[in-house]
A and B are shown apart, each in its own frame.
Chain A
Amino acid sequence: MGFIKTYEDQFIAYNIGNILVSPKTDDEYIEDIDELLEKINSVPGVSRAAGHYSTGGTLHYKGYSLGTTIEVIKPNDERLVTDIYKKIKDGDYLGEGETGQIIMGIQVSGHKDTAEDMGPTLGYLNSGDSVTVDFTNGVTRELRVKGIIETGSFMTDQGVYITWDEMESVLGHPITEGSNVIIKTDPDADEAAVKTQILRFGVAEKVQTWQDLLDEAMGRAIADYAMLNSITIVVSLIIAVVVLFIVIMIKTLSSRRQIGVLKAIGLEKGIIIYNYVFQVLIMTTLGVILGVFVLEAMVAILTAFPFQFSDGTVTPVVMTADLVNNTILLFIVGFFAGYIPAWRVASEDIMIAMRA
């Protein structure tokens, strides 16, 4: 769950915000993006919308070349939607209206230690260095690297950004269309409700919340993780049941004569069985308390020292509902794990049990 949660958080903070508006299926671009931004920004629940224009380009630096997608942004809007501006490792974020500047992720600029690179890069460059950019329309520009981004998200750290004004100068005309619009909603807003509001405001483009997108892109992965999680739970429960079953079986078998005597002096089978079931439930309760303690300790430790993955740091996430469900399940199977062996021995003939 921690991996998925990390991915979700990064997806919202560095990629699409809470909602993404993209062109209709058959269109390459959204027409009249300024009007669309104005419309979206007036929708209740929308904190800010930022337009993106994507183009292709090849970056050159000291003999290294790298083909990539260049995201064209309006920095002031972008700051209000994503948190990339907080993750500038070296240099600064782009300023509104700036030209001749470019910022890029560390997986593009490259690390000093190339072993940390996870794919092709420009070797290793810092803010203040210049890169040559060949745009797809044939224009070549020398751009100064203003900042290097390091978010911990592999996808974001592969990004390259220039300003809207820079791209207009490359194209030689104003940009009226956009590749997509990313939207940040108000903190207490329900994204699905905001999406509905956007559609009601007459937005004809494709509108998707981050959940919609992740379901689309990560549905299989989430399902796989869920299945893995379920298998782990089932295996854990089987181990718990087997252990409890063996413990009670040994206890009852070693107490056969005592059980026989208790029956002889008039204790009913049910009392004897529930005595053992009660013992199992106490063991289960202690196990749950210990398990929760260990779990919380592990979460605390792994939050302080998280796992490092290619998409960033991953800390475990414990879902309370899962914890409650699994605890209930453990008590149910624990009940049967205690009941069955106790019932077997308690059902034995008194004389046979007493001779044991």
Chain B
Amino acid sequence: MIEVENLSRIYQMGNVTVHALKGVTLTIPKGQFVGITGASGSGKSTLLHLLGLLDRQTEGTIRIGGIDVSKLTEHQRTLYRLKKLGYVFQDYALVPELTVEENVYITSMVRGMRPDVYQKETNDLLIRIGLFDRKKHKQSELSGGQQQRVSIARAIVNKPEILYADEPCANLDSESSKNVLDLFKQINQELNQTIVMVSHEDWHLQYFDRVITLRDGEVISDDLPLVKKG
């Protein structure tokens, strides 16, 4: 469970002070597929970065699984990200020099897992996302949708408590986007995986259990998607 209380983030850009988030308070229970939406500059990516321990808030607290992660040191935050969190980025962020399977098990290697264990888990995941036959390929040999699926495999290979996705379909066509969202939904339902995803596409909303909408750094709505309300 993620508990956020009075979360604020203020940036100083030259002489301009930017209030990216203003006192956001929310709770995300385990297993929920949450969508964060809003117009450009509304603070949705900032919120995701703070929840993902990629950035530090100016005010407020974030508790994940009962731990106040705001108080962790840089080293502890790095370990926490490695062991508890998974990330999917808009531009996939794969390491181009590595093969598909290497990109997937890189964090498992760093965690010190046995090669036979992470190799098996990687193979299982690649079968699941339909890229087992491409496991020796490099990033440049994959389509955008395939790259994003590899990115998702990398994010979930260590069975994170929370999976964060920052506009994962922004660079994909509709069909690839649908495949990625289907995969997210499948992971969410089959593994009870908590997913927090930023999106600004209306048609994505149908996949979410809950939609948090931001405007000017504040939560303006936090509800079921309209499609699910009937």
Contact = CB atoms under 8 A, between A and B. Distances in A.
B63 interface: no
Interface string B83-117: 10111010001011000000000110010000000
A258 interface: yes
Interface of B: 49, 52, 54-55, 75, 78-79, 81-83, 85-87, 89, 93, 95-96, 106-107, 110, 154-155
A266 B107 contact: yes
**5 A-B pairs with least C-beta separation:** A266-B82, A261-B93, A266-B81, A350-B54, A351-B55
Contacts of B155: 265
Contacts of B87: 264-265
A265 B109 CA distance: 12
Contacts of A267: 78, 82, 106-107, 110
A268 interface: yes
A350 B89 CA distance: 14
A262 interface: yes
18 contacts: A257-B93, A258-B93, A258-B95, A261-B89, A262-B95, A264-B81, A264-B87, A264-B93, A265-B87, A265-B155, A266-B78, A266-B82, A266-B110, A268-B110, A271-B110, A350-B54, A351-B55, A354-B54
Among A257, A262, A263, A350: residue with most chain B CB under 10 A: A350
A258 B89 CA distance: 12
B79 A266 contact: yes
B136 to A, nearest CB: 21
Contacts of A351: 49, 54-55
Nearest to A351: B55
Contacts of B96: 258
Interface in A251-283: 257-258, 261-269, 271
Contacts of B82: 265-267
A25 to B, nearest CB: 74
Interface string A311-329: 0000000000000000000
A279 to B, nearest CB: 11
Contacts of B54: 264, 350-351, 354
B43 to A, nearest CB: 14
- Residue with the highest number of chain A CB atoms closer than 10 Å, among B54, B78, B85: B78
Contacts of A257: 93
Nearest to A267: B110
Contacts of B79: 266
Given A265-B106, A267-B106, 19 more contacts: A257-B93, A258-B95, A261-B93, A262-B95, A264-B52, A264-B81, A265-B82, A265-B107, A266-B78, A266-B81, A266-B83, A266-B107, A267-B107, A267-B110, A268-B75, A269-B78, A350-B54, A350-B55, A351-B54
A260 to B, nearest CB: 9
Nearest to A261: B93
B81 A265 contact: yes
A351 B52 CA distance: 11
Contacts of A262: 95
Nearest to A257: B93
Contacts of B93: 257-258, 261, 264
Contacts of B49: 351
Contacts of A269: 78
A350 B54 CA distance: 6
A257 B96 CA distance: 12
A262 B155 CA distance: 12
Interface string A335-356: 0000000000000001100100
B95 A268 contact: no
Interface in A282-317: none
Nearest to B45: A351
A342 to B, nearest CB: 16
A261 B81 CA distance: 12
A229 B106 CA distance: 46
Contacts of A263: 78
Nearest to B83: A266
A267 B112 CA distance: 12
